[in-house]
């Protein structure tokens, strides 16, 4: 799966899976009251922390989705390498 927001190259190495310049939108969340109090005391930016945490989850979900979508191709490739070896293996000096 490719989206317009993924960087060129391998999707699992993409830096941005969304548009960071997109407008911000207010949301309602339910948070443990004591945790919220402590986070504010120590100066944690909750919006930034939320975005960073969601981005980690999104990247993980996209990676898992990519692996599932490509499971058969990966298995075929691994079986071929197991059977035939890698290109140039006879020329290697290590």
Q: Are the CB atoms for 44 and 31 separated by under 8 Å?
A: no
Q: Is residue 18 in some structural domain?
A: no
Token pair recorded at residue 56 = 């980690």
Q: Is residue 75 in some structural domain?
A: yes
Q: Are the CB atoms for 17 and 5 separated by under 8 Å?
A: yes
Identify the pLDDT of residue 47.
Answer: 95
The boundaries of the domain holding residue 69 are 45-94
Output the tens digit of pLDDT for each of the chain's 94 residues: 333 344 434 444 446 789 989 999 999 999 999 999 999 999 999 999 999 999 999 999 999 999 999 999 999 999 999 998 887 767 777 6
Q: Which of 18, 15, 24 is nearest to 5 (CA)?
A: 18
Identify the pLDDT of residue 1.
Answer: 30
Kindly report the pTM of this predicted structure. Answer: 0.68
Q: Is residue 58 in some structural domain?
A: yes
Identify the pLDDT of residue 87.
Answer: 78
Q: Is residue 29 in some structural domain?
A: no
Token pair recorded at residue 52 = 């960073």
Q: Is residue 93 in some structural domain?
A: yes
Provide the number of structural domains found in the chain.
1
């Amino acid at each position: 799966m490719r989206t317009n927001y993924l960087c060129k190259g391998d999707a699992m190495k993409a830096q941005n899976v969304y548009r960071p310049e997109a407008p911000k939108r207010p949301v309602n969340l339910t948070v443990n009251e004591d945790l919220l109090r402590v986070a504010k005391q120590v100066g944690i930016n909750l919006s930034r922390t939320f975005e960073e945490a969601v981005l980690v989850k999104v990247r993980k979900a996209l990676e898992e989705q990519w692996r599932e979508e490509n499971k058969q191709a990966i298995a075929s490739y691994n079986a071929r390498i197991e059977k035939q070896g890698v290109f140039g293996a006879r020329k290697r000096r290590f």
